[in-house]
Structure 1
Amino acid sequence: MTAMQHQHKSWHKNHKENKKIGTTAKLQIEQHRYKWVMTIFISEDHPVLVLRLTSTLIL
C-alpha cells in the first residue's frame, strides 16, 4: 500500500467521524473535458482544514 492510499483511507475514516461536527463546502468547475470538484472541510473540534481536489474526465 502506498503512502497516498493510506492517507486517502485515513482521510475517509477521519472525515466520517468528523462529519457531524464540522462544515463541508463543495466547489464544482466544468472546464473542457474535465469536471473538477474541490471539497473543503473545516472541523469545529480541531483547528483542521481539509482540501480535497478531484478531477473527472467527461466522456
Structure 2
Amino acid sequence: MARFALLVVMMTFFAVLALDISVPAVVLSLMALSNTAVLPRTHALKHGARREQAA
C-alpha cells in the first residue's frame, strides 16, 4: 500500500511538472499570435516591411 501511495505521489508530481512547463508555453504562444492578429501592420513594420505611401 505504501508503494502504491508513493507511486501516486510521484505520478502527480511529474504530471504537474509537465503542466508547469506546457501551460506558460501555450499562453505565450497565444499572446504572440494575438499580437500579430490585432496589429498586423505594426508587426510587419517592426520586421522590415516598408510603409505603403498614400497617393
TM class by smaller structure = 0.3 to 0.5
If asked which structure has higher relative contact order (CA below 8 Å, sep 6+), I would say: 1
Return the structure number with greater strand share: 1
Name whichever structure is richer in helix by fraction. Answer: 2
Pick the structure with greater CA Rg.
Answer: 2
TM-score by length of 2: 0.36
